[in-house]
Amino acid sequence: MIPEEIERYCELHSSPELSFLAALNRETHLTQVYPRMLSGHMQGMLLRFICQMIKPKMVLEIGTFTGYSAISLALGSEGIIHTIEVNPELENIIRRYIKETGVENRVILHVGEALNIIPDLNEVWDLVFIDADKPNYLNYYKLVFPLVRKGGWIMADNALWDGKVLSAKTSDKDTLGIAEYNEFVQNDERVENLLLPFRDGLMIARKI
């Protein structure tokens, strides 16, 4: 993993966090049990930049948490963001910050199980961002793949999982889920892919 001093140097040489995202970042750390699930400033900027570059019209996010990444995706795109969060207790904070950010007309929040919700959305996706329960990563990939346009993108967060993916033997279902996902994508001839050692790893796949 990247040393903390290098991460800090990168942060100091990147544009500052937007005020409303900084407020969401702080509230998440004050109120949530696992605040590290938040995308955060650097990844949020990367997601925004990616959207600014590829200009997606339809984006699907699987795993909203408190909404930081969904807002970042919306800020970088003029398209529609569908985001799915399984935990209903997070709905209020998500909707509040989406409204305060001014993207409520382009961010559609779905609360419930993604595997049940996705088939009913009836959309063709330009970009899919997976950042949910790790054992289901591959299930999400297989479910959304036919719905992604040719030339579209699928990105998965936490693809290095604190380096645990380097261990060939593990009984940790989260690590196994990530490792299985990485191997499947690597051997999927329908995509070209890049495992980017950014933050906790970002697997980027382009449908060819």
Domain with residue 105: its CATH number is 3.40.50.150
Q: What is the pLDDT of residue 4?
A: 86
58 vs 42, 83, 84, 160, CA distance in Å? Answer: 23, 11, 14, 27
> What number of CA atoms fall less than 13 Å from residue 159's CA on the CB side?
24
Q: What is the pLDDT of residue 1?
A: 67
Owning domain of residue 11: 4-207
Total domains present in the chain: 1
Task: Please state the rounded mean pLDDT for residues 24-41.
Answer: 92
Task: Please state the rounded mean pLDDT for residues 22-28.
Answer: 96
Q: What is the pLDDT of residue 167?
A: 83
Residue range 105-154, pLDDT digits in tens: 999 999 999 999 999 999 999 999 999 999 999 999 999 999 999 999 99
- Which secondary structure element, helix H or strand E, spans residue 36, and what is its range? none
Q: What is the pLDDT of residue 83?
A: 98
Does this model's pTM top 0.75?
yes
Q: What is the pLDDT of residue 3?
A: 83
Q: What is the pLDDT of residue 7?
A: 87
- Which secondary structure element, helix H or strand E, spans residue 182, and what is its range? helix 173-186
CA-to-CA distance for 113 and 131, rounded, in angstroms? 13
Task: Please state the rounded mean pLDDT for residues 47-69.
Answer: 98
What percent of the chain has a predicted confidence (pLDDT) above 90? 91
Residue range 60-107, pLDDT digits in tens: 999 999 999 999 999 999 999 999 999 999 999 999 999 999 999 999
- In this prediction, residue 56 has a pLDDT band, given cuts at 50, 70 and 90, of very high
Runs of H (alpha helix) within 32-126? 40-54, 68-75, 91-101, 114-117
The mean predicted confidence, pLDDT, of the chain is 95
Tokens at 106, concatenated: 């382009």
Residue 78 φ/ψ, nearest 5 degrees: -100, 5
Given a cut of 70, whether residue 168 has pLDDT beyond it is no
